[in-house]
Amino acid sequence: MLIAVEGIDGSGKTTIVRFLVEELRKRGYDVVAFKEPTDSEYGKRIRQILKERKVSPEEELELFIKDREFNVRNNILPALKGGKVVIMDRYYYSTIAYQGALGLDVERIKMLNEQFPKPDLVVILDVSPETALKRIKAKRRPDRFEDVEYLRKVREIFLSLKNNVVVVDAERDIEEVKRDVLKVVIEHLGESFNKDAKL
């Protein structure tokens, strides 16, 4: 079972992923979480270029794909083969939305990501760019990916994605968001495990 948690910066993804891991473990699931960009050499280069703004969107795209290849081969596939529930803090939906919002062709980005395992469930934490930026600014200085116009485009693309996607209103208090996400995930896990049991 592969679950991706997606959303613009400041949507609360990281808090929600941490919460999900804890709650699912309490319920006896063997669960692991991975984050993209990773800590691989590609991930480190990505973090560097996000600060410097020097490479083209196309080069950025290539790096995110390379980082994902690394993550799938070394982390995601082994965990899935070991029967674990895998929770992703960002996955290829982020590439579609963020690199798409830089002007790259969304269909081509989707195609380049078809080689990777498809999530069984994608939870999009939906928040307005204004709220997201307010949350970010309360903690630190926003970076290049974090201006209202850009985040508006990213959000629009996220909300246009359809397959296995559940959109959760993340404008609300985090406790309400947690409750809703957990409900969606538990229902999904129950369904798929029941389905397997019938085979």
In whole angstroms, give the CA distance from residue 92 to residue 53: 21
CA 174/CA 128 separation, integer angstroms: 15
Among 4, 95, 132, 185, binds ligand TMP (CB under 6 A): 95
Which CB, 156 or 191, lies closer to ligand TMP?
156
Q: Give the nearer residue to ligand TMP in terms of CB position, either 29 or 158.
A: 158
Given a contact cutoff of 8 angstroms between Cβ atoms, the answer to whether 126 and 159 are in contact is yes
Stretch that binds ligand TMP, among 18-26, 75-83, 91-99, 176-184 (CB under 6 A): 91-99
- Count the neighbouring beta carbons within 10 Å of the beta carbon of residue 171: 16
Stretch that binds ligand TMP, among 16-24, 93-101, 128-136, 164-172 (CB under 6 A): 93-101
Burial of residue 166 (CB within 10 Å: 0-12, 13-18, 19+) is middle
Q: Check residue 34 for interaction with ligand TMP (CB under 6 A).
A: no
Under the rule (CB under 6 A), what is the footprint of ligand TMP?
Answer: 9, 36-37, 50, 64, 90, 94-95, 98-99, 145
